Each structure stands twice: as structure tokens, then as C-alpha cells.
């Protein structure tokens, strides 16, 4: 496979993706934003809990 074929394959796959994809509606966007926000908060809370456990048990530096 040469570079020309690789570029052509990339362009074809990009066109395919762009024809299938669509802009999300406001409702879809809001749902995705809420789920992402909850995930970020959840990861932060878990990290804080782990940090507190380590601090209470005097584990680590």
C-alpha cells in the first residue's frame, strides 16, 4: 500500500463518517453534558475519598 492509497482510504472513510454523523439536538447535548458532569464529579469524589483514606492511614508520602 502506498501513500496515495492511504490518503485516498482516509478521505473515503472521513466522507463516510461525515455522512452518517449529525449535529446533536439541544436535548441530546444537554443529556451528554449532564452525564459528563456527573462522571467528572464522581471521579473527583472517589479521588478525594482515596486521598482522605491515605491521609488517615498515613500511607504514601
Is there a domain that residue 39 lies in? Answer: yes
pLDDT at position 61 is 57
Number of domains in the chain: 1
5-33 pLDDT per residue, tens: 888 999 999 999 999 999 999 999 999 99
pTM to 2 decimal places: 0.62
Is there a domain that residue 42 lies in? Answer: yes
Is there a domain that residue 6 lies in? Answer: no
- Supply the range of the domain harboring residue 47: 24-61
What phi and psi, each to the nearest 5 degrees, are found at residue 23? -75, 135
DSSP assignment, residue 50?
Answer: H
Euclidean distance between CA atoms 37 and 15, whole angstroms:
31
Is there a domain that residue 19 lies in? Answer: no
Is there a domain that residue 17 lies in? Answer: no
Is there a domain that residue 40 lies in? Answer: yes
Amino acid at each position: 500500500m502506498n501513500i496515495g492509497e492511504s490518503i485516498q482510504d482516509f478521505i473515503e472513510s472521513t466522507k463516510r463518517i461525515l455522512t452518517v454523523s449529525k449535529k446533536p439536538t439541544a436535548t441530546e447535548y444537554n443529556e451528554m453534558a449532564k452525564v459528563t458532569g456527573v462522571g467528572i464529579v464522581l471521579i473527583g469524589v472517589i479521588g478525594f475519598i482515596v486521598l482522605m483514606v491515605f491521609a488517615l492511614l498515613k500511607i504514601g508520602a
